[in-house]
Amino acid sequence: MANAPKLLPGDSLRVGYPKINHGIDNANEALNRSLTAESNSKGAMNIANDAVIVANNAILESSSVQEQLNQIVIEGDSSVESAQARIDAEGVTYPTLKERIDAEQSKIKSLYNKNKGIISLLDYEKYKVAIAEGFDWTKSFEEAFKNMKEGYTLTLPSGEVYINPESPFLIDHDYHVIGAGKRATKINVLGDKTVFQTAKKATSRTYYFSIEHMQIVANKNISQPVFDLTGGSYFTISQIILTGNEGAEQFGNGIIFPKGMGYFNGYIELDHVYVQGFNYGVWGEGNNVTIKGGFYNGNKQYGIYITPANVINITSIEASRNKKGGIFLDGNGLFIDSNWYEYNGNRVNEVYSPNNVEIPITSRNVHVGVAQRHDYSNVGIVHGQQEDVGYDYNSGIGNAHNSSYGLIANGNFDSLDKDGIPNGWRLVGTPNISYVPDKTTPSGYGNGLSITSTSGSPKFFQSIFTNNNDIKKYKGKKITSHMYVRVTASNPSDYQNIRFGITKDPLTSGGLSFGSFLNAQQVTIGKWIKYTFKYTIVGDENQINIGYQLQNSCTIDIAGVTAILGELNLANHEKVVTSAGGDIWTQEFKIGGRRHGFGTTAPTSGDWRVGDIVYNTIPASGGSIGWVCIATGTPGTWRTFGAISST
């Protein structure tokens, strides 16, 4: 569009008309263009508005779809169908469809597991209760055990689980409880009650069950056993860490398995079980018991205590820091080998002096084999603290070189019963009893015992056999006893009536009959003397005891008391004999079948053979090296040999 020419003054109509029309045309064209532009602008605006509307509609549509998806998949649809979908066949309404789907999947898995006999504690997680420490799963355990059936397995989750049961969780026939691998399940016991107990223990027996792969931490004040498996047979406890409260004055036992109402309790296996800090680590009455791997440490009484114990196998364990002793077994067929016994160097004198393995003489078919120790002083093997009772530190009894049956205690003088008498011993009369500190007893021995009489003839003894039926089994067997004795007396006339040794007479009023000691020794006043007694079982004895009889005003100190069913000789002792001598030279031994003993005089009692020798322990100028038996008898005929010159 060209610009219209302007009118000039003087233009005629003929000249001005075309200019006016040109201007009008331009104005019309401009108007048209303006209208077109306006129309285009409105169209553009409409398009833009339409686009906004479409976009908003798209957003709304998208939001609606997302909302529906959220409702259906995540939050639950508010439609009638979706609302109905959140209700299961049993009428339970779930907040969301997803939760119902998850629950159904869990049910399917649970049904699958139940078909396989598996119940998970997580199936009962809804019963757990929040507490300060975490969650209390007691109710979950109770509900789970209610649904357990014969042959079922209960699996436990990993992590910390707290329980506070008012009554034990009952283990019935063929139950299996399994924690997460590598003992990742940790059960913390908040109460003082038993945790696992065999069902109906008082009236019946429970067979075939196992518990494995978990840690159990007992409450520091627990007063009952963690595992009460009374009447249980054919059971296994495996890969369990059981922690108590080491050092506590009053505390429950770790694992117990008494017979209960059953006549038999057996086929029991403890496999890599670690028990620490209880009264007894394990206490039971069992047959065919296998204990292998793990440790039984820091318990107030014994790490393992089983009596009666028949066919027992204990290998590759540690039994350390138990205040009274590591292992106590009394029975038949006892095999103990390749174990570690660490001496408790922190024991309190006059409280405990632990023996590592204790086997009463009534036990039969015993093997105590290789044993490693942290400290070779005052350690003890089978009621003995010294190898001079005939047992090598690393071999013990029952190995290829020594098939002896058993021993009585070497005093147990550091542990008193409720009447103030050393455990295993009996007292007739009213003498005073006190301790002889271990630093004043013969070298290497623990605490001794001092018995002081003020009047009468009190007796102090321990029974080896108390039943003639048991005695008959060992007719012809020899009992050998060792003891260290030190005596003081205020009246020399009483010396002859101070006696000690082995007695076969029956007990009278709970005591030994007067003068009943066999091979009774008269004593050397004021010094420690080691005595050895031997007695061959006749078979008609009512009881056989070892003990002491005092007289009026006197005191007898005793230490290192042992007794063995069988003979001791040099061949049984595997300690290397060196030029330095050593303890081997303080005990009787045999060479060429002849006895070699020690003393201050020729023997005045006992059975001796030609060629037996007794060495003089107090040689002096003009005296002799010792005495030799030239005629067999009781005590035989003796002559001095090896004259000692006076210059």
DSSP codes of every residue in 436-468:
E-GGGSSTT---EEEEEESSS--EEEEEEE--H
One DSSP character per residue, 120-169 reads: EGGGGGGG-EE-SSSEE-HHHHHHHHHT--TT-EEE--SEEEEE--SSPE
pTM of the model: 0.51
Give bridge partners of residue 216 from the DSSP assignment: 187, 242
Maximal CA-CA distance, the chain: 189
- Give the rounded distance of the alpha carbon of 132 from its chain centre: 30
User: β-strands 339-341, 371-373: how paired?
Assistant: parallel
Cα–Cα dist 592/425, whole Å: 37
Mean pLDDT, the chain cut into blocks of 10 residues (647 residues total): 66 63 71 70 67 63 56 51 68 76 67 70 94 95 92 93 93 88 90 85 71 92 89 91 80 88 80 95 94 93 91 90 83 82 46 56 67 33 32 28 33 60 76 77 70 86 76 78 80 74 66 58 75 82 82 83 55 38 56 82 88 90 93 92 88
User: β-strands 511-512, 507-508: how paired?
Assistant: antiparallel
Cα–Cα dist 254/208, whole Å: 20
Cα–Cα dist 524/522, whole Å: 7
One DSSP character per residue, 367-412 reads: EE--EEES--SS--SSS-SSGGGT--TTT-SSSTT-----B--S--
Joined tokens for residue 373: 């120790």
Under DSSP, is residue 357 helix (H, G, I), strand (E, B) or coil? strand
Ramachandran bin of 418, using left for φ above 0, alpha for ψ from -120 to 50, beta for the remaining angles? alpha
Instruction: Give pLDDT, residue 239.
Output: 95
User: β-strands 448-453, 554-565: how paired?
Assistant: antiparallel
Is 598 within 8 Å of 615 (Cβ atoms)?
A: yes
Cα–Cα dist 327/338, whole Å: 13
Burial profile 323-332: b = 16 or more Cβ within 10 angstroms, e = fewer: bbbbbbbbbb
Cα–Cα dist 426/511, whole Å: 8
Cα–Cα dist 600/596, whole Å: 14
Residue with tokens 């330095």: 580
Among residues 394, 417, 395, the alpha carbon closest in space to that of 404 is found at 395
Instruction: Give pLDDT, residue 259.
Output: 82
Joined tokens for residue 605: 């009692």
Cα–Cα dist 46/59, whole Å: 19
Joined tokens for residue 302: 């014994």
Q: Provide φ and ψ at 298, rounded to 5°.
A: 60, 35
Element (H, E) at 50: helix 13-69
Helix, strand, coil fractions of the chain, as percent rounded to 5 = 20, 35, 45
Joined tokens for residue 168: 């034990």
Residue with tokens 């002889």: 436
Cα–Cα dist 566/573, whole Å: 14
Cα–Cα dist 588/400, whole Å: 21
Residue with tokens 């436990």: 156
Is 227 within 8 Å of 256 (Cβ atoms)?
A: yes
Instruction: Give pLDDT, residue 438.
Output: 62
Residue with tokens 């263009």: 33
